[in-house]
């Protein structure tokens, strides 16, 4: 499946313009699946719960419905990060997987980073794998990468590809994705934004360099650090479903769960 990583540069709070920018970037590559960063059209650096209340969207909101329409019109799925207002009013740092027929899946970030803990509810969905057009896709958001259990859980659930929406301010994740890919024999798409965001004197620099790593650890995509773009790669599930490392070793069968007792 041809999959595109959309590396954008949103302006804080300029929601409509940011979505226009995203659609412009997406139009540059024809793909079946587009993956976008965390909080991709709002900006990231909330300063208060009130600000977040202003920007949070429900699935039915016009902003999210624009992506549903785009998906249908282009017959392609879109996975994007956004601040989600749930039916009960709680706000999550979420990723929505939108399919052309209007189906969708919401994943809510399990591991909140830094000041997100002040503003967002901890994710309550857990990890899930969605099969779409023959590819099994798991969603994850930014800091989830730090906990190897996140991607391992998705791999054990059968994921071929982990759609990992990020707002990374360091380059550690892009480096560790080599490990995450080979230890799980999955494709990983870490999609990051670029640019700076300065609010009340606190400046965050986003590191770009979105990467797509194949199950053998090859970097199929290694995007620039300071330019927006849409970068596509082919995801072949035959590669992610072969968990044999050699004639004697199988990644899943060789696990010694009895010795991992204290992980769960």
* Calpha distance 12→230 (Å, rounded): 21
Residue from 30, 147, 171, 203 touching a copy of itself (CB under 8 A): that is 147
Catalytic site residue 38?
yes
> Residues touching a copy of itself: how many (CB under 8 A)?
48
Residue 176: strand, helix, or coil: helix
Candidates 3-11, 27-35, 193-201, 245-253; binding stretch for a copy of itself (CB under 8 A)? 245-253
In the stretch 20-59, what mask flags binding to a copy of itself with x, by CB under 8 A? ----------------------------------------
CB 191 within 8 Å of CB 210: yes
Catalytic residue (choose from 51, 84, 109, 197): 109
Q: What is the DSSP letter of 7?
A: E
**Beta strand pairing call for 211-213 and 129-132:** unpaired
Residues forming beta bridges with residue 137, ordered by sequence position:
130, 161
Catalytic site residue 117?
no
Segment (H or E) for 188: strand 187-191
**Closer CB to a copy of itself, 6 or 140, in the complex:** 140
Catalytic site residue 142?
yes
CB 164 within 8 Å of CB 176: no
Residue from 11, 86, 156, 204 touching a copy of itself (CB under 8 A): that is 156
Minimum CB separation of residue 83 from a copy of itself in Å reads 18
* Calpha distance 41→25 (Å, rounded): 13
CB 213 within 8 Å of CB 187: yes
Residue from 46, 92, 111, 197 touching a copy of itself (CB under 8 A): that is 111
Contact positions vs a copy of itself (CB under 8 A): 110-115, 117-118, 122-123, 126-127, 143, 146-150, 152-153, 156-157, 172, 175-176, 178-180, 182-183, 217, 245-249, 251, 254-264
């Amino acid at each position: 499946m041809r999959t595109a990583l959309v590396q954008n540069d949103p302006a804080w709070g300029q929601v409509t313009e940011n979505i226009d920018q995203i659609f412009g970037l997406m139009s540059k590559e024809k793909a079946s699946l587009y993956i976008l960063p965390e909080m991709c059209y709002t900006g990231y650096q909330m300063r208060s719960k009130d600000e977040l209340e202003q920007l949070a969207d429900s699935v039915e909101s016009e902003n999210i419905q624009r992506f549903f329409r785009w998906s249908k019109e282009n017959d392609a799925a879109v996975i994007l990060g956004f601040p989600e207002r749930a039916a009960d009013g709680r706000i999550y740092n979420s990723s929505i997987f939108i399919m052309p027929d209007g189906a969708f899946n919401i994943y809510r970030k399990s591991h909140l980073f830094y000041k997100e803990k002040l503003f967002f509810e901890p994710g309550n969905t857990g990890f899930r794998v969605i099969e779409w057009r023959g590819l099994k896709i798991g969603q994850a958001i930014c800091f989830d990468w730090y906990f190897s259990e996140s991607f391992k859980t998705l791999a054990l659930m059968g994921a071929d590809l982990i759609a990992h929406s990020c707002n990374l301010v360091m380059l550690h994740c892009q480096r560790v994705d080599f490990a995450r890919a080979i230890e799980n024999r999955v494709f990983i798409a870490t999609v990051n934004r670029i640019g700076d965001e300065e609010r009340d004197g606190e400046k965050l620099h986003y590191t770009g360099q979105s990467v797509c790593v194949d199950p053998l650890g090859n970097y199929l995509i290694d995007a620039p650090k300071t330019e927006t773009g849409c970068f596509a790669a082919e995801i072949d599930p035959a590669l992610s479903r072969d968990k044999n490392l050699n004639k004697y070793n199988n990644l899943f069968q060789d696990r010694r769960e009895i010795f991992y007792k204290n992980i769960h």
